[in-house]
Structure formats: C-alpha cells, structure tokens
Amino acid sequence: MLDEIKKEKDETQPETQPLSKNQLENEDQTLLLISGSKGRENDKNYVKKLANAVVKVFTKHGSAKMRCVGAAAVNNADKAFIIAKNELAKRDIHILLDQSFANVVFNGVEKTGILKEVVETD
C-alpha cells in the first residue's frame, strides 16, 4: 500500500530538470522577478539594486519587465521604476511604465500577479 502511494505521488509531481544552455538563452532576459518585504533597511538596498538592474536591462535590451506578486513586491517595483526613470533621464532617455495582469504559477498554485513593462517614450 505504501509503495502505491509513493508511486502515485511520484507520478503527480513532475521532475524538475536543470535548464540547458539553449533553454536559458530562450528565457526572457528582460524579465526581473520582484520579491516583497525583507525588512526596512534591506528594502532600501533591495530597491536600489532593483533600480540598477532595471537600468542595466533596459540599456542592454531596450526594455525591461518586472513580474510582481503581492503588495510589497508591487511597491518595490514602483519605487525602483522611479529611481531608474530619474537615472535614465540624466542620460536623456525617457521611459514609462506599462502595467498588466499576469497569471503566475508558484509551487503548483496559480496566482494573479502584475507585469510591469518599462518602455521608452517616443
């Protein structure tokens, strides 16, 4: 009986394999996954690092996307966008934020998140 339960459990959970080099190259390199609160001081540093990442990804690829799940993640992404916008404005690059809903799967559970795309204004 125990073997049957174990076998059934193994069949319902797909094995996760490490991504190959080709799969990594096909991944969206403009997508940044945003996390929520880590504590007040850590949030300040996290937001600054996130803003730097937005600037680097945007200058390299011409756009950047931030995927957020939860209020704290959305707040961090908004703060990082403002910092990145000011940094890029110094370089005479003007950006805006386009937002939409996105379905995200975490540990087999589907949740609604927000996808924020940083694009250059015309």
Structure confidence by residue, pLDDT tens digits, 43-67: 789 999 999 999 999 999 999 999 9
pLDDT per residue over 65-100, tens digit each? 999 999 999 999 999 999 999 999 999 999 999 999
**Domains of the chain by start residue, with CATH:** 29-120 (3.30.110.20)
User: What is the predicted pLDDT for the residue at 63?
Assistant: 94
pTM: 0.74
Classify residue 64 as exposed, middle or buried by CB count within 10 Å of its CB (0-12, 13-18, 19+).
Answer: buried
- CA 35: distance to chain centroid? 8
Structure-token match 């174990």, residue found: 6
Q: Is the pLDDT of residue 108 over 70?
A: yes
Q: Would you place residue 33 in the very low, low, confident or very high pLDDT band (cuts 50, 70, 90)?
A: confident
Structure tokens, 74: 């959305």
Dump pLDDT digits (tens) for 5-21.
444 444 444 443 444 44
